[in-house]
Each structure stands twice: as C-alpha cells, then as structure tokens.
Structure 1
Amino acid sequence: MMATKRGRKSNRTVPYDPEFVENWTIARLQQELHLLNVPYRSGSKRMELVKKLKEAQAALRGAVSQHAPSDAIASHDAPRQDGRQTGSPERADSTSLRNMISSLADSVNTLQNCYCRLENSVLTLTQSRSVQPTSAAAAGSSRQMATDGIRAPTPTTHVAYSPLMHPGSTLAAVTEEFTLDSAYRKLQEESIPSGDSADVQIQTAGTSSRCTTNSMSAYGLIDDELNTAVDSLWNHALSEKTLATYKSGLNCFVTFLVMRGIACAANSLPIVDEDLLIFFVTYCQEALCLKFDTIKLYLAGIRFHYIKLNLGDPLANTMRLNYILRGIKRTQVNFSNKRLPITFKLLNHMCITISSSQGLFEPFVKKMLCCIFQTAFYGFLRCGEFTCRKLGDQSYLRLSDVHVLPDKSSFILYLRSSKMDPFGKGVHIRIFDNEVLHPVLTMVNYLKVRHSLGATPTCPLFIEDLFKSKPLMRHTFISYLKACLSLIGVNSKDFNGHSFRIGAATSAAAAGVQDVVIKVLGRWSSDCFIRYIHTNPATLQSAQLNMTVS
C-alpha cells in the first residue's frame, strides 16, 4: 500500500512583517548601521549585520534610559508572537521625552530656589554691614544669622514668596527675570567670605567677582585652543609636499570605497581589512595605471590619516599585501629617468659662452646665471634649494644668507631648508675661490649689482628678472639652462636642475676625492651618492687594460 504523501508544514507562525529587523535586506541594514555610525566589515552576512544593528539599538535605548528619572516605568505591553512588543517606537520615544522634560523642570525649579536664596542673602548681609554693630558679639550673631539663612532648606518643587526674596519683588517678577543663563552666572560668582573679622569686604555681584578658573566656558575655550594647536602640529609633522601627496592618496582611497558601496568621508573613515587594501592596490595598477612608487606613497598616506584619526595602523600584519606589492613591482616596466651630469669641463664651457654671447641674455641675467651655475656646482646644491617650485614659497635664498669673508677667499651660504634638514635647523655651506672660475669673485660682483639696484637684505638672492624682485622659479631656471646648453651645441634633453649636483659628485670622484669627503660636500647621510657618479668609459677601458697587463 502506498504511503500518503505528507504536505509541507509552514514554519511561519506570524504574517510577514517588512519592519521586522530579521526581514530587512542587506542594503537597508548597512544604511541603518551607517546612520548609527556603527562600523561593519565589508562583505558581512545579513545575520551578522542584524546582530550588530540590534546591539547598537540596545545601546542607544540604554543611553536614553540613563537620562530618564529612576521612577520611570517602562512599557509592559504583551509580547507578540515574533518577540516584539506591541507598543510602537513612537510611544516609547514620547514617554522617554516626557520623563526627560519632567526631570529638567525639577532642575529648573531647584536653580530658581538657589538663585533667590543667594541673591537675598547677599542683600541681607549688605544691609547688615550698612548699620554698624554696637559690639563684636552683635556682629558675630548677625553673620551667624546670615549663614543660617543661606543654609535654610527650601522646597524643591515650587518657588514660593518668602522674606528672603528681594524686598518689593513678587513671584511673577522673579519668574520673569529668571533664566538658565542668569542662574548659571550667579552660581559661578565667587562665594561670600566667611571669616570672623568684621572688616571683611563683601564683593558685589558682577563680572569682576566671577571665578573664571572654575568656569566650564573657560575649560571649553582651553579645549578649543588645544585642538587648534594639535591640528597645527599634525600639519607640521610632515612637509607640505608630503602632506599634499598623502591627501591625494586618501582621496583616491575614499573614491575607491564609495565605488564599492562603502559610504565614508575623509574625516570619517571605516575600519578596513587586508583584503580591501589588496583590492585597492590592484585597482590603482589596473584601472588608474599608477606606478609602484606612487602606490606605495598612497598607502603611506592612508596609514598616516588612519593613525591621525586614532583608528590604528591599517598596514600592520599585512603580509599578503606585501607580496602583492612585490608582484606589482615585478610586473611593471620601471624606466628610470636618465639625468646627465654637468661636469667641471662642461660648466667652464657654459660660463665662457654666456659671458661672450651677444643678444641672447641681458647683462644682468648673464651675471646671475654664471653665479647660479658656479654656486650650484661647488655647493652640491639641489635645484629646489635655490629655486621655488610655486608662488608663496618662503624658503628661498635671501641676500642676507650670503656672507663673504673679508679676505674674499670664500663665502658662506646659509640654506634655510633642504631635503636632509626636515626640522629647519639650517645648513651652512662654504664655497672657496679658485683660479679658473673664481666663484667668490663672481658672487661678489653679482651682489654689487643687486645692492646698486636698491635690493635689501631680505630680498631674494636669485630673481626672475631685473624688473621683478620675485624669487627665481624652477621652470624659469630650467628654461635658462636648456637655452645655455643649446647655445654650446649640447642636446639638453637629458639635463635638468639636478645635473649640477650629479656633475659635482662625478667630477670629485674623477679627481680622486675620497668617498668620505664627497659625502660631506654633498651632505649625504648614506652611500647613495655612488649612483650619482658617472664613470667615464675611458676610465673603464684603462682599468681593463691594467687587469690584462697584471
């Protein structure tokens, strides 16, 4: 006999309720968690989001209940079959609001009583001081009565008319003049002295007797000033260029998060995991076509802003991310910019050609270029140390930064800021004279021209042109340099402002200067100067011949 087929029994005991939290979609749960400022992990399952939302709502109800009076009675509606109460959220919120308003009304009444007692006690003592007592005992008893009047208990629910009120005042007048601000000011005024001496001066009410050291507004002002100081210190923790790069990296990361459906802002960052960072660096390479070095800088910027917001280090314990970065570096074709050196031989040729050229440069520009070229070469200067990248930069060289010794054997150049001086202590560079290019004499002649034109010690050392006393910009100097190289028949494509520093290191190594001395001249803290040295092919050929002979 064939068994009877059983029908499926429905497990749903109550009708479907779209307002039931467990029935919400993932998108609605994420939106509600975002409104409550509750962080959640990307890719969380629906039940995990439901659990976080219930915990947040429970914490919110607990915070509201703390502000309600202790005798507030919660709703005792019968529970429904799905575990929810029949009382609507609007009814619970209105009940809590009424309880809070009732508690606030009691506090206002208490402040009214304190205000009246304090004001009338001051008036009573002032009147007693106007009448001189006949004996010390009478004065003592008067003060004791005033003290008893201040400590007398008063009702806490209603303000009634009493002899302690201001003479001639009524309940309506007191109520109309009373505000929370006036009561707070009265409570913040300095207390009346209670010494035994009859000569104690009773202070009158006013701003002069207010105790500002215990004022909440004073603390608030101090906190605001400290927050401003802290923000300023964060901005000075790194250079402006580094902060700008870090900000670009953060904006790119925020855009990536928004594209993935994670709502956030630069000042409200979510908690991220290693998987999200791996996706971000992959997005930077595949979609944005960023280089490995740029991606590393963007990650450093993300780390900086997370630490600034006290959200921890998102790059800690990210071993998989490090391997992904290695993969990006190996898959990219990294081209290094070829920068040729301006050696002493090339520098000498440029200075001679500039001085003898006609019509290409003005006489003032000729003197300035020769001075810049020689100072940058013998001082191992970076291009950013004697030019400005943007307007408004205050780290440019000034006329007062050059000090020529009386015997004119050398001059000292003071650098206000440099790459290896992040804290702005300043660096002094001494440049000596020689019999070939005469760099000291060139600087002296250039300074004479500037002073004859009315330049002050605070004016920029190198300027755009004779009629603009603005600091020399980087792009202007590069254009001058390429024009000079083209004038002597050299292809200027692979030369830039750093070529003087590279050429100085190359010339020093070719002259047999020790590596330690080269590091001191170029202000290098490591052996990275070795990659600046360009070895002449003739030197390599001679070395190989010596190897063959030996």
Structure 2
Amino acid sequence: MVAVEMWGTAWANCSVCFFTDNESLVSVINKQTSKEPSVMVLLRRLILTCLRYNIHFIAQHVPGREASLAPSSRLQYERAWYKLVGFLHSLGLVPVLPVPIYIMMFFIAHLHNAGLAPASIISYVSAISYFHKINGFQDPAKSFIISRLLIGAQNLRTVSDVRLPITLPILTKLVTAVPTVITSRYKQVMLRAMMVLAFKAYLRVGEMVPGSPRTGQNCLQRQDISLNGDLISVSFRHFKHSRKHGSQSLQIPGGVIPASLISPASCVRDFLHARGTVQGPLFAYVDGTPMLRREFDFLLKHLLEFCGLSSQVFKGHSFRIGAATSAALRGESDAQIRAAGRWSSDAFRKYIRVA
C-alpha cells in the first residue's frame, strides 16, 4: 500500500507484481478480499489507488529463508531456539541476536546438567548457529571455548547408546511372530513389509512413518517404491541429508534371504497388493491415513516382548543398526555401507556393533 501511494504516478498504466513469502497475503491480494476488517480497509485503499492510476497488480509467493531447511530440521531448530529463549527468560534476560559467548557457555552447561545427550546439545548449538548465520551474525559455535565445551560434554558422557542391532536371526523371529501377535490381516502384511524394508534399506524410522499426520509428506511415498521381479527399487526424496545431497535411489535384491525363510520382495508385494494405488505415505491404511510412529513403536514393542526380547534395548532404529552391523560382518567396504545407509560422513561407524 505504501509503495503504491509513493510511486503510483510512476507506475501508471503498468502491471505490478508484489513478491512475498507470506502465502496468506498472496491469497488476499490476488482474491482482493479478506475476512479481517482491518485488512479490508487497506485492501480497498490499494484497489482504489490502482484504479486511479490504471495499475494492474498481482502477488506472487517466493520461498522464505526457512525454505533452506527440511521441515523436520526446521521444527528441530525452532525447538532449540525456544529452549534458549526459555533459558534466557529464567535468567531475566531478553533473547536477542547475537547471543553473547558467555550466555552460550551457560546454556551448554544448563543442557548438560539437565541430562541431555552430547548429540542433542550439539544439535541445539547447531540450530542457534544457523539463526546467527542466516541473520548475518558470526557463528558462536566457531568460538574456541564453545567447541571445547562441546568436546567436554562428550567426554563427560556417562550413558552410552544401549540400542542393540536387529540382525537377520532376530528379524526372522519378528517376522515369523507377526501373525500370532497382530490380529489385523492388513497390519500383518504392512508390519512385515516395514520391518524387512527397514533392515534391507537401512531405513530411519522417520523415513518410514511420520510423527503426526501433517508431516506425512516427509516419509516414503507410494510412488517411491516399485518392484521388478525380485528387485525392489526405493527412491529417497526426503531424508536427513537430502537437502545437501539431493534424492537417492537404492536397488535392493529381494529374493529369499539365505539362512531364513524371508523374501523381501514377497513381503513388499503382498503389502502393495493389499494397500492399493492410493497416493500418499507408503505405509498407510487403505484410506490413505499414514501409520504414525507411536503406533509402529507400540506394535514393535509387543512383537519384541512376544519373542522374549527387551524393548529397552531393541528400538525402531535397531533395524538400521542391524543393517550396518550385518553389512560389516559380511565384509562390505566403508564406502558401500555409507552409500547404502545414506550417511554423509563416517557417522555410520557408530552403528556397527561387533563384539
């Protein structure tokens, strides 16, 4: 409105496009209406001014700075920022960028005393660093004292990762137990396909199932998987490092696994036949509603307990740990394991649990 008032005479008999990262504003300008009375006052003034100078106007959406982050990362970064804001408020301080180094030091100590794992503390600091860099401020994580504090938090860690790998023998037990533990035929074929794919494709739980229905677009979709005989093709468009490395595809041999009665291709084929061709999240019910993470965790817990296995040490991520461990035991190279699991660094080494 201000722009049209200021430069209306210069824009006479022209077409003007307003670019904004606010999708609601784009809709209001293009539809020339709003349910908000105060907005309508400004909109009417804009329309009348444009009529006076014969200006044709439209609005177009452009992604904001947050588009540089994957949706899951954006939520994680927002949680970290709100955590910092809460900490500052507890000290009677106002959150403002840049955050002084000494405040970052106190914040890291606060997180450590609260019992957060070093990896969680590092992710919080990374999030705060992002907000600094995106706003043109110096990265506090580059400070020598901050980097040493993070190393110190790792050295003081007293609790190790107790998750154990779900290896082929355990996977066989779980798949075999499904018909006994799960009564729904549809859930049976879905859970078998989920567990087999989680193992064979090194799946992160978040790649299989969303935490809530509104984030279903970030996990594997129906169109991301296909079968050609016993060959399973999986396309990963959204995963932890997809913004950096782009989408990736994985070809998985789906024949009967030696030393077991499991045929991954048959498990996937049975599920796809039951699921139908409705587009949306891959692991969904016939109406397209995705299975959520809490439901997957619940079903896996019951399967583990039926098989006499502890749900305290075997988790959804144990399939990925088991895949990496099994690959290492087969003698696969570091490069092969890194590529199959879509790791961007040597972090995969932490997943190999060989006694």
1:351 aligns with 2:151: no
1:398 aligns with 2:201: no
Cα distance in 2 for residues equivalent to 1:344 and 1:187: 73
1:518 aligns with 337
Return closer, same or farther for 1:489/1:251 CA change in 2, 3 Å cut-off.
closer
2:209 aligns with 387
1:339 aligns with 2:163: yes
Compute the TM-score of the two structures, normalised by the length of structure 2: 0.73
1:304 aligns with 130
Q: Secondary structure at the match of 2:64?
A: helix
> Which of the pair has the greater relative contact order for Cα pairs under 8 Å at 6+ separation?
2
Cα distance in 1 for residues equivalent to 2:142 and 2:218: 39
Cα distance in 2 for residues equivalent to 1:410 and 1:317: 46
Question: 1:185: Cα distance to partner?
Answer: 6.5
Aligned 8 A contact 1:385 1:396 in 2: yes
Cα distance in 2 for residues equivalent to 1:434 and 1:528: 29
Question: 1:296: Cα distance to partner?
Answer: 3.4
Bigger radius of gyration, 1 or 2? 1
Return closer, same or farther for 1:210/1:238 CA change in 2, 3 Å cut-off.
same
Superposition pairs of residues 5-44 of structure 1, within 5 angstroms: none
| CA displacement, residues 203-250 of structure 1 (integer Å, 9 cap, x when unaligned) | xxx97894859xxxx8xx99xx7xx73xx3311122333333333333
Instruction: List gaps (5 residues or longer) in structure 2.
Output: 14-48
Q: Secondary structure at the match of 2:348?
A: helix
1:414 aligns with 235
| CA displacement, residues 263-315 of structure 1 (integer Å, 9 cap, x when unaligned) | x45xxx265543343344444445x55554444333333333333344x2162
Cα distance in 2 for residues equivalent to 1:522 and 1:186: 60
Structure 1 window deviating more from structure 2 (524-533 vs 314-323): it is: 314-323
Aligned 8 A contact 2:189 2:271 in 1: yes
Compute the TM-score of the two structures, normalised by the length of structure 1: 0.49
Cα distance in 1 for residues equivalent to 2:139 and 2:346: 32
Candidates 315, 318, 322, aligned match of 2:140: 315
2:32 aligns with none
1:249 aligns with 80
1:428 aligns with 249
Aligned AA (1:513) = E
Cα distance in 2 for residues equivalent to 1:495 and 1:513: 24
Aligned 8 A contact 2:117 2:157 in 1: no
Superposition pairs of residues 492-503 of structure 1, within 5 angstroms: 492-503=311-322
Aligned 8 A contact 2:171 2:195 in 1: yes
Cα distance in 2 for residues equivalent to 1:518 and 1:285: 32
1:438 aligns with 263
2:68 aligns with 237
1:277 aligns with 104
The number of residue pairs the alignment matches comes to 312
Return closer, same or farther for 1:292/1:416 CA change in 2, 3 Å cut-off.
closer
Aligned AA (2:313) = D
Q: Secondary structure at the match of 1:480?
A: helix
Aligned AA (2:105) = I
1:508 aligns with 327
Q: Secondary structure at the match of 1:493?
A: coil
Cα distance in 2 for residues equivalent to 1:366 and 1:183: 66
Aligned 8 A contact 1:410 1:432 in 2: yes
